[in-house]
Structure 1
Amino acid sequence: MKFHLSTLLLLPLLLVFSLESLIKFFIPKKKKSVTGEIVLVTGAGHGIGRLTAFEFAKRKSKLVLWDINKHGIEETATECRKLGAQAHTFVVDCSNREGIYSSAKKVKTEIGDVSILVNNAGVVYTSDLFATQDPQIEKTFEVNVLAHFWTTKAFLPAMMRNNHGHVVTVASAAGHTGVPFLLAYCSSKFAAVGFHRALTEELAALKRTGVKTTCLCPNFINTGFIKNPSTNLGPTLEPEEVVNKLMNGILTDQKMIFVPSTISFLTVLERILPERFLALLKQRINVKFDAVVDYKVKGH
């Protein structure tokens, strides 16, 4: 009873804060400077990671590029240098905890304290549960979420000491809703979204409000990882569009970024609509892509 009464007393504040949010929505947010910041991007050898590195390079950040593909990060580094930024490359397998810790130690010794960490590296296997091999499931979790723990444990202490920094989690719309034949991927991205939210709360509890967090949750992106994706929510996203949204979110300290923004509305609907209606809605959304399905119904 006490809780309910104290909650009712908060209603006037809800109205005030809602009005404040509405007003802020129409006022452009001031973008912070990242010039001179040491920015580490995992999975920087291609796709979203590479384009994100380019955006930081344009803003004269000092880049630390990690990827398992040496050729890919060297190409990224070359372009970053052409844009006038310093760029340092490290071949790192983000499924290997000790490799992450070892590389992190080198970064701190040779370059300095990372102040912006972009956990972007990811893997995806498009198959049903039975066609997804056990090592593939393990790898999905090692890269898509466990690596976030190891990198953050390595670089967050300096940010907390300075009460200044930013931890970016590249997750997915699949971290908010289930998708058939992406079971391991969805599970890992749900965990990545949970990591972001819990880390945000933990930093607030420790009064480290100068360390910001951002989570990116896009729909299908045209990076080639998923073959022939389609959905009635709109065309497959181009990487440039997603990175533009991501950079704007980082520079304005936005906590959660959905691309397209309609996904945020759908995540709310999924929590309040009847299951039967949701099933019909998902049929209309009609998510499709090439997948391997090993399960066979008896008699077929």
Structure 2
Amino acid sequence: MSKHSDSSVPGRFFSGKVAAITGAGSGIGRALALHLARENCDLALSDINAAGLEESARLARDLGVQVTTAVVDVANRDAVEAWADQTAKDHGKVNMIFNNAGVALGSSVEGTSYENFEWLLNINLWGVIYGTKAFLPHLKKSGDGHVINVSSLFGLVGIPGQSVYNTAKFAVRGFTESLRQEMDIERCNVNVLCVHPGGIKTNINASARMDSSIKSLVGSDSEETRQSFEKLLKTTPDDAADIILKAVRRKSRRVLVGSDAKALDLLQRFFPAFYQRLIVAVLRMRAAKSRRKALASN
């Protein structure tokens, strides 16, 4: 355990607790780890990127907490289950699981191969399911458990070219809301939070898979589309982590991260048909502008 485990210290909700985080090697996962470490929370970190994972662990250990690491592919159920059991053994308990690991893919429905469907869903959906089920018994045993599942702004609105990502993130939302109600019915000491980030400045866009079919939808090729998305990433991982952890403290059911997530959530709630027509109109205009630009350059 960490050196100072007095959880009664005012304002130290996380002090003396143990948090497991997937996708902890960078971005939101690393930011969550460091925020928690500053509040004296011990950590079990996992990522598929060993180098990024070890850097996150080093930074957290420098803050004086116990940190264990595991290179885990969240799409591998056996690996996730083994990590959960080892975490409970190493730390003596587990209070929180942050199912944060994820990947991105830009492609039309027709242009997406079944292999890419399976690749993304195995990580973004099954990874969340595996993480939740593997850690839930340990969270219940702790008497003060928290499941934090990262959905997305794209778990609230459908976007052309994001059908696979939408599929996963809408499913995470439904799965998480259902679990929350089950825990409420059981009067169980496990809180369940669904997180809907908007554009966060992480490397998920840079590492996203892009299919050439995206051009017919958004009017730009894969690299141009990547650059356009990059401009929409306004919220820093640090700010995102701060918002998420405030929601954990409040035992919220869901949290929107970023002004873009809040705006589009309102738009789809009050104008569920209009927002779709609006997106189609904007993308058609972009595609037409791109075609005119291409003709002018020839």
Question: Match of 1:216?
Answer: 195
1:31-180 equivalent positions in 2, closer than 5 A = 33-180=13-160
Q: Does residue 250 of structure 2 align to residue 249 of structure 1?
A: no
Unaligned runs of 5+ in 2: 1-9, 206-225, 287-298
- CA deviation profile, 1:70-93 (whole Å, cap 9, x unmatched): 111110000001111111110101
Residues 47 and 162 of structure 1: CA distance in aligned 2, closer, same or farther (over 3 Å): closer
Question: Match of 1:188?
Answer: 168
CA displacement at 1:58 relative to structure 2: 0.5
Secondary structure of the corresponding residue to residue 101 of structure 1: helix
CA displacement at 1:218 relative to structure 2: 1.4
CA displacement at 1:126 relative to structure 2: 1.4
Residues 114 and 287 of structure 1: CA distance in aligned 2, closer, same or farther (over 3 Å): farther
Unaligned runs of 5+ in 1: 1-29, 289-300
240-249 vs 48-57, which deviates more? 240-249
- Fraction of identical pairs, as percent: 30
Residues 129 and 281 of structure 1: CA distance in aligned 2, closer, same or farther (over 3 Å): closer
Scaled by the length of structure 1, the TM-score of the pair is: 0.77
- CA deviation profile, 1:229-271 (whole Å, cap 9, x unmatched): 4599x76322222122112111222221112256346435424
189-198 vs 127-136, which deviates more? 127-136
Secondary structure of the corresponding residue to residue 65 of structure 1: strand
Secondary structure of the corresponding residue to residue 228 of structure 1: helix
**CA RMSD between the two structures:** 2.6
Name the CA distance, whole Å, in 1 between partners of 2:29 and 2:276.
34
Question: Match of 1:4?
Answer: none
Q: Does residue 186 of structure 2 align to residue 206 of structure 1?
A: yes
Secondary structure of the corresponding residue to residue 159 of structure 2: coil
| Paired residues of 1:231 and 1:285 also in contact (CA < 8 A) | no
Scaled by the length of structure 2, the TM-score of the pair is: 0.78
| Paired residues of 2:20 and 2:97 also in contact (CA < 8 A) | yes
153-162 vs 140-149, which deviates more? 153-162
Name the CA distance, whole Å, in 2 between partners of 1:259 and 1:58.
21
| Paired residues of 1:125 and 1:132 also in contact (CA < 8 A) | no
Name the CA distance, whole Å, in 2 between partners of 1:282 and 1:240.
33
- CA deviation profile, 1:75-132 (whole Å, cap 9, x unmatched): 0000001111111110101111111112222222232221111000001111222433
Residues 219 and 286 of structure 1: CA distance in aligned 2, closer, same or farther (over 3 Å): farther
Name the CA distance, whole Å, in 1 between partners of 2:285 and 2:146.
33
152-161 vs 118-127, which deviates more? 152-161
Name the CA distance, whole Å, in 1 between partners of 2:71 and 2:275.
48
CA displacement at 1:196 relative to structure 2: 1.2
Secondary structure of the corresponding residue to residue 196 of structure 2: strand
Residues 274 and 79 of structure 1: CA distance in aligned 2, closer, same or farther (over 3 Å): closer
Aligned AA (2:197)? P
Question: Match of 1:275?
Answer: 273
Secondary structure of the corresponding residue to residue 105 of structure 2: coil
Name the CA distance, whole Å, in 2 between partners of 1:281 and 1:136.
24
Name the CA distance, whole Å, in 2 between partners of 1:92 and 1:231.
27
In the alignment of these two chains, the number of paired residues is: 257
Aligned AA (2:234)? T
Secondary structure of the corresponding residue to residue 214 of structure 1: strand
Residues 31 and 126 of structure 1: CA distance in aligned 2, closer, same or farther (over 3 Å): farther
Aligned AA (1:247)? L
| Paired residues of 1:74 and 1:89 also in contact (CA < 8 A) | yes
CA displacement at 1:141 relative to structure 2: 1.3
Secondary structure of the corresponding residue to residue 244 of structure 1: helix
* Runs of 4+ residues over 4 Å off in structure 1: 281-288
Name the CA distance, whole Å, in 2 between partners of 1:235 and 1:111.
36
CA displacement at 1:65 relative to structure 2: 0.4
